[in-house]
Amino acid sequence: MTTAPIVSVRDLHKIYGKAGQKQYEALKGINFDVQPGEFVGIMGASGSGKTTLLNILATLDSPTSGDVEINQQSLTSLKGNQIADFRAKQVGFIFQDFNLLENLTNYENIALPLSLQNVARKKIQPEVMRVAKQLDIEAILEKYPTEISGGQKQRIAAARALVAHPAILFGDEPTGALDSNSARDLLEMLTSVNSEQQVPVLLVTHDPFSASYCQRILFIKDGKIGQELKRAGQTRQQFYQAILDALGTFD
């Protein structure tokens, strides 16, 4: 493939703590690319730096050094409002704890990214209905987040992440707070969104089951990418086994 990558990470470092104080290097030189339409997983144990990496990719945090390009836009060149706008327009983010606003209805939650871009009321409605239909949440749009189950909440969150047509969808352990059935539903939904709409997905997880839905997995350990695993035509079951094997040797 010769198309430009959607995500390109070069020699990324992240050191927590101010100079002179107690410092901790969470990322020690990360390099990888995500190609258009890919479903990539990043796996690692707790504390290995997954959230740190994803937060930097989503402009929620800044790297100590190194470069990140998303959709051929360098994140380090963004300033002030551009950062917030980039987040609103280019990335969709699904969090482990849903991050829904409980004082808005589900519909309003999904519509929020469009409202923030001052999209006209008339245009917002069809967009919301489009993602709602796709994610099968039309029946719960008028409810509040506290009135629905965890799995449904994560669907609403996914709808909100997708409504503004992002260049890429990030998920930070999106199944972490879900029971196994809801987790499976969500992963299947992500897979179909990925394959039908060609939205690239970058999923961060420590759970091999979730990872088995990906096409390619990067293993992160102590702030470095250690190993890469490709699904390459295997069934999900086979891939799951391969991940477990890899984890055994990786540790």
* Contact footprint for another protein (CB under 8 A): 55, 58-62, 78, 81, 83-89, 91, 93, 95, 99-104, 108, 111-113, 115-116, 118, 120-121, 124, 144-147, 160
For residues 80 and 78, give the distance between their C-alpha atoms in angstroms, rounded to a whole number.
7
Chosen residue from 41, 49, 63, 145 binding ligand ADP by CB under 6 A: 49
Kindly determine how many residues on this chain lie close enough to bind ligand ADP according to the rule CB under 6 A. 11
Q: Given candidates 51, 109, 175, 212, which one binds Mg ion under the rule CB under 5 A?
A: 51
Residue nearer to another protein on the CB measure, 15 or 116:
116
Containing 228, the helix (H) or strand (E) segment is: strand 224-230
Q: Which residue has the tokens 């470092």?
A: 13
Q: What's the full length of the chain, in residues?
A: 251
**DSSP state at residue 51:** H
Question: C-beta of 36: minimal distance to another protein in Å?
Answer: 22
How many Cα atoms occupy the beta-carbon half-sphere of 235 within 13 Å? 2
**Cα end-to-end distance, the chain, whole Å:** 32
In this structure, are residues 208 and 244 in contact, taking their beta carbons and an 8 Å threshold?
yes
Rg (Cα) of the chain, in Å, rounded? 18
Out of 9, 12, 26, 30, which residue is the one contacting ligand ADP (CB under 6 A)? 26
Among 34, 43, 48, 111, the residue binding ligand ADP under the rule CB under 6 A is 48
Q: What is the C-alpha to C-alpha distance for residues 173 and 189, in angstroms, rounded to an integer?
A: 15
Find the shortest distance in angstroms from Cβ 247 to ligand ADP. Answer: 15
Stretch that binds ligand ADP, among 4-12, 48-56, 133-141, 225-233 (CB under 6 A): 48-56
Residues of this chain that bind ligand ADP (CB under 6 A): 16, 24, 26, 44, 46-52
